[in-house]
């Protein structure tokens, strides 16, 4: 298929996410290797975002490719009630890299799926229903994860699900207040969060969900002491 035909078909038949459909003019990708991908004219592009931040080990990683091929020759999928060597081995590797407070791995299909299940687990474990998350956040676009999301990508899901409460993250650079230090900023933001939790009802809050460093909403690094302060709350 020619690159022109690929683009034509894509624009005609594919509903492209995160794009205005009428303005689509995607680059047809011919191949990829390492941190680069190439179009059909041989132009090389450096992939600075690992696509959707899911190709951090690069294109054409031989170890990954060989593992996928070996698994396909055995079987592609069995249900969660069966044990597989690949799943049990990976789970052990992950747990051995985590703090002692982690016990088991729950495998899901993607990030939104993981976040939705995290909310369900928190509610089941605590018996509470409210979940706090930040306005400048993206946690997925499925219905539950989209309600967890704070930025405008949640708008198509509104009116939202009851129990999802938003608060502002510490954006010191853009804040209207001039803080003398990061520690002063941390004290301010933690005080406001604590106050909001009190007004929502502390006994109703199941979880606080946040990115350690805000990603697609500005790469916002929290001030010193903020994350430990939230954990203390």
Consecutive H or E run containing 225? none
Per-residue pLDDT of 61-119, as tens digits, reads: 999 999 999 999 999 999 989 999 999 999 999 999 999 999 999 999 989 999 999 99
The 10s digit of each residue's pLDDT in 17-45 is 877 888 888 999 999 999 999 999 999 99
Q: Please determine, for residue 120, whether its predicted confidence score (pLDDT) is greater than 80.
A: yes
Cα–Cα distance, 30 to 40 (Å, whole number): 5
Domains of the chain plus CATH, in order, are 3-60 (3.90.1150.10), 111-232 (3.40.640.10)
> What is the reported pTM?
0.85
Q: What is the pLDDT of residues 159-202, one digit of tens each?
A: 989 999 999 999 999 999 999 999 999 999 999 999 999 999 99
Distance CA 139, CA 145 (A): 6
Separation CA 13–CA 216 (nearest Å):
28
Please give the pLDDT value at position 204: 97
Determine the pLDDT at residue 52: 85
Helix (H) or strand (E) holding 75: none
């Amino acid at each position: 298929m020619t690159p022109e035909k690929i683009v034509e078909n894509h624009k005609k038949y594919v509903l492209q996410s995160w794009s205005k459909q009428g303005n689509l003019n995607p680059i047809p990708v011919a191949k990829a290797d390492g941190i680069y991908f190439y179009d059909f004219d041989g132009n090389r592009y450096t992939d600075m975002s690992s696509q959707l931040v899911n190709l951090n080990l690069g294109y054409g990683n031989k170890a990954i490719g060989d593992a996928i091929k070996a698994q396909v020759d055995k079987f592609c999928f069995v249900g969660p009630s069966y044990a597989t060597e690949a799943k049990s081995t990976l789970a052990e590797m992950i747990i051995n890299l985590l703090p002692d407070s982690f016990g088991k791995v729950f495998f899901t299909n993607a990030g939104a799926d993981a976040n939705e299940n995290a909310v369900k687990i928190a509610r089941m474990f605590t018996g509470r229903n409210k979940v706090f998350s930040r306005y400048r956040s993206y946690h997925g676009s499925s219905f539950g994860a989209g309600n967890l999301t704070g930025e405008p990508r949640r708008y198509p899901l509104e009116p939202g699900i009851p129990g999802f409460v938003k608060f502002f993250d510490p954006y010191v650079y853009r804040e209207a207040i001039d803080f003398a230090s990061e520690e002063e900023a941390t004290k301010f933001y933690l005080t406001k969060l604590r106050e909001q939790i009190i007004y929502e009802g502390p006994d109703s809050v199941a979880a606080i969900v946040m990115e350690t460093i805000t990603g697609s909403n500005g790469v916002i690094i929290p001030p010193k002491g903020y994350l430990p302060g939230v954990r203390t709350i």
